[in-house]
Amino acid sequence: MGEITPYYASNEDLPRLMRDLLPEHGREIYREAFNSAWEQYADPSERRNPEESREEVAHKVAWAAVEQVYEKGPGGEWRRKKEAKQPVVLRAMPLPATIPESDPFSMSRLLYYHKN
């Protein structure tokens, strides 16, 4: 089996909306989380809702990853949260068979790896 090519090979491959809205580091987080989720949730049975497309799930995971580090400012610009002190790379993790509806991250489980 060959190596899986990332859906977005570089930040320039991201949709224009993401390139326009997010700062460079936010785009890196988005791309890495999207690609990880794209790979992780290739099989519909791995998704919380198997009827959601692979792309839809990957975008949800990517936005959740960005929102862990960035927030929208009063003018709509994305800015780094004060409590996010170090750059973070997010990887999608398998979802458990059952997830309580009250879990705010029920659509994605994220594992954080801090870059050193």
Task: Read off the pLDDT of residues 27-66 as tens digits, 9 standing for 90 and up.
Answer: 999 999 999 999 999 999 999 999 999 999 999 999 999 9
Mean pLDDT of all residues belonging to the chain: 78
* C-beta separation of 107 from 60 below 8 A: yes
- The rounded distance, in Å, linking the Cα atoms of 74 and 78 is 9
pTM confidence score: 0.67
State whether CATH 2.60.40.2130 applies to domain 14-114.
Answer: no
- The rounded distance, in Å, linking the Cα atoms of 48 and 60 is 12
Least Cα distance to 58 among 4, 98, 99, 102 occurs for 4
